[in-house]
Amino acid sequence: MNGGRSKRLREKSVFKIVGIVLLMVLVGLMFTIVDRLPVIGNPDSAPNRHVSDYYIEEGPELTHSPNLVTGVLADFRGFDTLLETTVMFLAGVSVAMILSNRLKRHWDAGIFRKDENFGGYEVKVIMPILIPVIIVYAFYVLMHGEVSLGGGFQAGALLAMAFMLYIMFADLGKNKFRITQHFTVCVAACGVFIYFLTGFLCMINGGRFLEYEALPFSAEHGAELHATGILMIETGVTIGVMATIITILEAVVERNSLNGRS
């Protein structure tokens, strides 16, 4: 019995050594080709000649977005972004499912405030001023999304941060947010659905999925519809990301408060 166990241990350590050696070989392989990768900024390298040229030369005009990154992210490859938003939603649902084994528990911010002096007066005075500013800035990032770098993901993160700060510092005895994880997951689903709907409207109106020029709104130029479409999907992304972050946070806090009690 004892001999068998030590033999098994020895086998395991052999596997470990083999694994480490193989890993080293793969890492070595990666290093051998580092100098063969295209140089950054080299106009003759393959990535800069083929697709990128088209994006740079035609992109701003075709997508009506002065920002190249937004044009590629939300328009040329908008379908990828829909799926990335779905990944966020999926992560939120999964974390909530795995971490929660009980229901109908609400935010218990008490774990943040075990220490009476948590935050202190300065923070408690500053936060009511800061939180509205954060929310306003989040809307600015969202609305400015199709013009400048940025957009839905950042705006969603900012809104979620405002929510978190409010929960941590506000006097919850008086005005309690009664938000369940189910509710936040529903909000996240609505956010992703806004994105999905943008694509679907284009389809119903005779275009392809996410072909913004087929959106059923009136506009002088087709290009203006691109801006509308990008704004719509960014709104969806914002809501989805915000709700997902709150879901994950709520699941983690719920789990912690359960651990504390049991």
Partner 1 sequence: MSNMIISNLPVLVVLLPLAGALFCPVISYFSRRAGRLTVIAFAGTSFVLSVVQLLRITDVGKISYHFGGWEPPFGIEFSLDSLSAVLLVLISGTGFVSTIYSLPFFRGKSRFRSFGYYSVLSLLICGLLGMTSTGDVFNLYVFLEITSLSGYALIAMGGDKGVLSSFRYLMIGTIGASFYLLGIAFIYGETGTLNMYDMSGLVGPVLSSGTTMVAMAFFVVGFGIKMALFPLHGWQPAAYTNAHPGAAPLIAGVMGKVPAYAMLRFFFYVFNANTQYVERFLVVVGIMSALGMIYGSLKAIRQTDFRSMLAYSSIAQIGYVGLGIAITGYYGLMGAVIHIIGHSMMKSCLFFCSGAIRYRYGETAMERFGQIYRKMPVTCAAIVIAALSMVGVPPLAGFFSKWYLALGAANMGEYIFIFVLVISSLLNAVYFFRLFENMFMNKNVADGSKGIGAYLAVKAEKKAERDSVPFKEMAATKEGYKGRLEIPPAMLFAVIVSALGIILAGLFNAQLVEILGPAIREVV
58 to 97, contacts with partner 1 by CB under 8 A? 75-80, 83-84, 86-87, 89-91, 93-94, 96-97
When asked if residue 217 is in the footprint of partner 1 (CB under 8 A), the reply is no
- In this structure, the number of other CB atoms found within 10 A of the CB of residue 24 comes to 10
Q: Report the residue number, 54 or 118, with the smaller CB distance to partner 1.
A: 54
Q: How far is the CB of 37 from partner 1 (least distance, A)?
A: 5
Q: Report the residue number, 154 or 254, with the smaller CB distance to partner 1.
A: 254
Structure-token pair, residue 74: 């939300």
Q: How far is the CB of 231 from partner 1 (least distance, A)?
A: 16
d(CA 70, CA 83): 16
d(CA 230, CA 132): 25
When asked if residue 210 is in the footprint of partner 1 (CB under 8 A), the reply is yes
* Cα-only R_g, the chain: 25
Residue 157: closest CA among 257, 65, 248, 254: 248
When asked if residue 56 is in the footprint of partner 1 (CB under 8 A), the reply is no
Q: Report the residue number, 124 or 208, with the smaller CB distance to partner 1.
A: 208
Structure-token pair, residue 129: 């001023």
DSSP 216: S
Cβ pair 180, 107 in contact under 8 A? no
When asked if residue 29 is in the footprint of partner 1 (CB under 8 A), the reply is yes
DSSP 41: T
The amino acid at residue 31 is F
* Overall residue count recorded for the chain in this entry: 262
170 to 209, contacts with partner 1 by CB under 8 A? 181-182, 185-186, 189-190, 192-193, 196, 203-204, 206-209
Q: How far is the CB of 80 from partner 1 (least distance, A)?
A: 5
Q: Report the residue number, 131 or 201, with the smaller CB distance to partner 1.
A: 201
Q: How far is the CB of 90 from partner 1 (least distance, A)?
A: 5
List the Cα angle 25/28/29 in 5-degree steps. Answer: 85
Q: Report the residue number, 107 or 166, with the smaller CB distance to partner 1.
A: 107
d(CA 24, CA 126): 51
Positions that interact with partner 1 (CB under 8 A): 26, 29-30, 32-33, 36-38, 45-52, 54-55, 75-80, 83-84, 86-87, 89-91, 93-94, 96-98, 100-101, 103, 181-182, 185-186, 189-190, 192-193, 196, 203-204, 206-214
